[in-house]
Chains A and B, each alone.
Chain A
Amino acid sequence: MLTYIVRRLLLLIPTLLGVTAVVFFIMALSPGAYEGLNLNMEGAQSEGEEARRIRQHFIRRYGLDLPVMVQYGRWLNQISPIGFRMSSQVQFSDSQKSQASTILDSSTVLTEDPAIRRALDATLSIAAYLEEEPDRTARRLADVVEEPERGFDLLAQMDSDVDETFRQEFLKAREADLHEASSHMLDQLSFEAATKNRILFTSPTVKWPDLGTSLRGRPVTELLLEAVPVTLLLNAISIPIIYVVAILAGIFAARYRGRWFDISSGIVFLGLWSIPVMWVGVMLIGFLANEEFIRWFPTAGLHDLKAQQMPFLPRAPESGFERGWLLDTVWHLILPVICLTYGGFAVMAKLTRASLLENMAADYVRTARAKGVSDHDVLFRHVLHNSLLPLITVLVGILPAMFAGTVIIETIFSISGMGKLGVEAAFMKDRELVMGTTLIGGSIGLCAELVRDVWYAMADPRVSYE
């Protein structure tokens, strides 16, 4: 058994690689540009200057100018616990920094304080990028400010193509004013240094896996940590409800096969299953949260506006009943949970019923009955136990779904969960966010399958992996 588990765990790695590679290449090769962010409130284009600069920024941040294969390698390096450092992760010691800053200070052109600070920042980024000692780069940068044309060499060394118009403008400015030209060149260098982020192939290290940065500049890990608990909460409530209701209904439907309960539960569950959730959600809000009809429930969100000031538990002081934070949350969860559950009963109930009926027709049931075992005992001791296998299959299929949200329900009830996060990321072509959700969703799905197989062996003595 143990060897089996280990073997399966090792197999996880190539499978995950495959999953992420497929998603990555579909993302990278699909058409579309990267400025989708600059939409204003009405969905119109904003009067954006220099879309080029924005594009350049994203190209640098994600290495979009590299071949797609290399881009994927870069991402793998980022998420792997053992790998190469990126140039932005290089830290210099304080003494190295102060050494560089003294060299820059001695320059005659950098007279203003912000210019020196900017030059120092640029020095450190360039040094990290070129893997030089900061003092050496500082000396080169000091040369650049005295004689800005030298900056072109430095730019070339950083693999940046210099825009021809920039070169022309720059050379003109150089004649006019040394100060102007050096600040120009410094700008360009710091921009290059700050946005370029490449792998330093020299020193593989053990590091924390990094899921990267979303398009809007927030770490993917943080975004996931915000969305996952919300989705888990919703699913942790609704999936057990689905299971308890559906399995019980399935058992009774099988026991009273063909009687009114069997038929009516079948019709009701199938009916519920066929109602689109979008419609139900809007109707629930329109009728059960509306002053005009019945206002029992809130219209949006997971907490009341005043939830922050509520006590945690409900209580009833003299002034009247206070529902408290816990009850408030439950109250807000009712409508979304209804939407999440009603459609799920049909499949599970039918599955339970079919599996039980199959077993009830088996020989051992007849034998047990002939021995005089009561109906109740036959059903709950023998049949139910043997009917669990298909239920396990479905349950494990649902585990990854615990992690995935549903974008429709989240949008209708204004909840920020995984569904909205994932769909918006895909629309925005937010690559690292999509890859982050894929990686985590994929690993949970694969682990769930492993758990299922182990569980089979435990539930059914006929299954063995030896």
Chain B
Amino acid sequence: MENRFGLKDLIMTSLFIVLIVSVWLNMKQRDRQRDELQDMKQSLGEQATELTRIRKMLESGARVAQAPGLEIPNASELDPTDPFTRIRHSHQAEDYAVGGWLINVFGQTVGKITPIVDTDAYQSKIEGHVVESLAVRDPDSLQFQPWIAKSWEISDDGKTFTFDLRTDVSFSDGEVLTARDVVYTFELTMNPEIAAPSRQSYYATIHRVFQVGDHRVVFEMKEPYFKGFEMCAGLGILPEHFYSRFTPDQFNKEPGLLFGSGPYRIQEPEQWKPGTGVIELLRNENYWGPRPTFDRIVYREITDETARLVTFTNGDLDVFAPSPEQYQKLKDDERVDHLATWYEYETITGGYRYVGWNQMRQGKVTRFADRRVRQALTMLTNRKEMCQRLMVGLATVTSGPFHRLGNQANPSIEPWPYDAARARALLKESGFEDRDGDGVIEDPDLQPFLVKLIYPASSTNYQQMALYLKDAFARAGVVLEPDPLEWNVMLQRINQRDFDAITLGWSGVIESDPYQIFHSSQIEDGGHNYISYTNTELDELIERARYTPSETARMKMWHRCHQILHEDQPYTFLFTRRAVTLANKRLKNVHLVKLGINSDMEWYVPLTLQKWSSN
């Protein structure tokens, strides 16, 4: 065999070199095209900014012409119906500057941002910047304040809401928002071919929506449900001219069709793809309100807890919510104190944790049907200690399903105390005592008191809670067996009502409707009263309260509901969570309001601290 460099080898080598060179040249070429495209985009962006500036100048010029000598009013003097009072106020700070990016983080990959279909908490955060509704709740007073609607009327029977829309609202492509878009949004949501079963059942009490002229919409309800107004006012308005281009099938499948009148926009909704690790919202240069502060709002998706923390301490995230374990570690870290400000707060929407006692298992009444047993189990649970030790102080004991900061909660109710002696006495009264001296209490038929507690297996926090309860109950002779389940299996067990006890949490809303969870009609047919709890007085009260439009009268009824639930203890209500957020110090005007932290529309970064920019 001769090892000579032959003609064949020469040809092969030169072909190979030619190939590599051409790939390289191709890359170069692409690079140049990219540069040109960037330049074009940049100049287009500059032109758009310039246009906006000119438009603003013209607008202010026009105003001056109408009322010469008009001065910029102070924040306190601003029109209370102006939706942007708070935002305008923040713009008056001395170091206020437009620009910079706001960088948030999600702990999960967001699969879809198209509104209406399959919405979750992540999606609604994004949607909140892009789509706007008719009215929004003021974060301090919790009252609705006008937004796209400038005013509204509610009929005396509470069944008809008439909204008058502002005439100056436009979508991010400049098209004017009219009553037609509101009607269209409702029709789109209710279209049975749109895969939005949960939204459709949420809006099922709306009978119809119609427009009167271009800027007035009427919502007619089937019944005077107390949440009716919130439902209508909160409908995020979608533009007909954009969405009508898509068939229902496309709408169901496309991941990024998010387009609206909000201060930020998605760059190319039709091209949007999930899984890139970032979701970028660009400023809507056509925004009808004051110019949005940030050039971009970015949501990074960082799925690992440690990676999230390190990214934050590196200064690459502006807002970060540590886990309870991280909170304990970071609390005394000087580096973090230097970098960021801590915000600890409770909010009505934080929800609560509970242990539910199943009163009817597969057609048989269980021992939890006895109120005294439930009360005793609650008194065996040292909830204060739980909040301190398990939740590292980030929780407060709750006495019922209504959050103590909201108006629904009855302020005169104190949570059941931790009182093991009284609990034991109550258990004895209802027939449970240790009859054979083995330290476990039995009923008269010598059946030991054994509880299997189901909870989601994926969460260590629930695991700790279950073990804590096991320990606490053992002291009174009640045997609790933790039974962790995979989420889907747990849902199936819930649907079949096949468990003794369950611990989970409910998320909160500003005024919640106990009907879904505690009304006896929700026991059957997969409803959320899966502990089969029945109380006729409560049923009646809930039914009445739901259709009482007057807020003061309704609150009195909710207070009574709270009282009944406290005495009945269908759940052992555990605690409400305290939230912790760290905000990088470069963000200004971040402060607490009744609903938690104020809206990021009010935040800004002074010019000297801006480190990200679009170019």
Contacts and interface: CB of A to CB of B under 8 A. Distances in A.
Instruction: Determine if chain A interacts with chain B.
Output: yes
Interface of A: 31-57, 61, 112, 114, 118, 121-122, 125, 187, 190-191, 193-195, 213, 216-219, 222, 226-227, 230, 281-282, 285-286, 289-292, 295, 299-303, 305-306, 309, 311-313, 324, 326, 410-416, 420, 427-429
Contacts of A292: 313, 335
A41 B27 contact: no
Contacts of A429: 488
Interface residues of B, number: 84
17 contacts: A33-B494, A34-B488, A37-B120, A40-B507, A44-B505, A45-B505, A45-B507, A49-B198, A51-B527, A121-B248, A125-B193, A216-B111, A216-B112, A299-B310, A299-B311, A300-B308, A410-B303
B304 A33 contact: no
Contact of B492 (A31, A41, A309, A413): A31
A21 B314 CA distance: 49
Contact of B187 (A31, A114, A302, A326): A114
B382 interface: no
B528 to A, nearest CB: 7
B488 A33 contact: yes
Interface in B492-529: 492, 494-495, 504-507, 509, 512-513, 516, 525-528
Interface string B316-332: 10000000000000000
B191 interface: yes
B252 interface: yes
Nearest to A41: B121
Contacts of B70: none
A413 B27 CA distance: 28
B5 interface: no
Nearest to B496: A33
Interface of B: 27-28, 30-31, 34-35, 38, 101, 103, 109, 111-112, 117-118, 120-122, 183, 187, 191-193, 195, 197-198, 200-202, 204, 210, 248, 252-253, 255, 273-278, 298, 300-304, 306-308, 310-311, 313-316, 335, 351, 456, 458-459, 486-489, 491-492, 494-495, 504-507, 509, 512-513, 516, 525-528, 577, 612, 614-615
B489 A31 contact: yes
Contacts of A194: 192-193, 248
Contacts of B315: 291
A285 B304 contact: yes
Contact of B351 (A42, A56, A121, A193): A42
The 9 closest A-B pairs by CB, nearest first: A32-B488, A41-B121, A416-B275, A301-B277, A44-B505, A33-B491, A50-B201, A190-B192, A312-B31
A289 B310 CA distance: 8
B38 A309 contact: yes
Given A48-B198, A218-B253, A286 B117 contact: no
A211 B38 CA distance: 38
A30 to B, nearest CB: 8
Nearest to B191: A118
Contacts of A52: 525-526
Give the interface centre of A32, A301, A410, A414 by most chain B CB atoms within 10 Å.
A414
Contacts of B121: 40-42
Contact of B612 (A33, A227, A305, A312): A305
Contacts of B526: 51-52, 55
Given A291-B313, A312-B27, A44 B504 contact: yes
B192 A187 contact: yes
A219 B253 contact: yes
